[in-house]
Amino acid sequence: MLFLRHKQAITQNQNQILSLLKRQQLERQGQSMPQTGSLKIRLEMILWIGKIENYLMVQAKELVGLVV
């Protein structure tokens, strides 16, 4: 169950990153998309969330290893 939630979170983060990269590409071409904050800050937040999720997944695997 934990693995499934982790996989869903990773997929969601990947989709957010792809969306932000698409927005960045459109802005470079002179087009724009509705923006709700700084692109760079949002991208950094998503990357940090991914790092935290990876850390928590490692901790969960170690905990499961101790229980088994």
Q: What is the band of 6 on the pLDDT scale with cuts at 50, 70, 90? A: confident
**Whole-angstrom Cα distance, residue 40 to residue 52?**
18
Check: pTM over 0.95? Answer yes or no. Answer: no
- Please name the residues in contact with 47: beta carbons below 8 A apart, sequence gap of 6 or more: 17
pLDDT digits (tens, 9 = 90+) for 23-67: 878 777 776 655 556 777 777 788 888 888 889 888 888 888 876
pLDDT of 68 higher than 60: no
What CA–CA distances, in Å, run from 51 to 24, 47, 66? Answer: 22, 6, 23
DSSP string for 7-63: HHHHHHHHHHHHHHHHHHHHHHTT------S-HHHHHHHHHHHHHHHHHHHHHHHHH
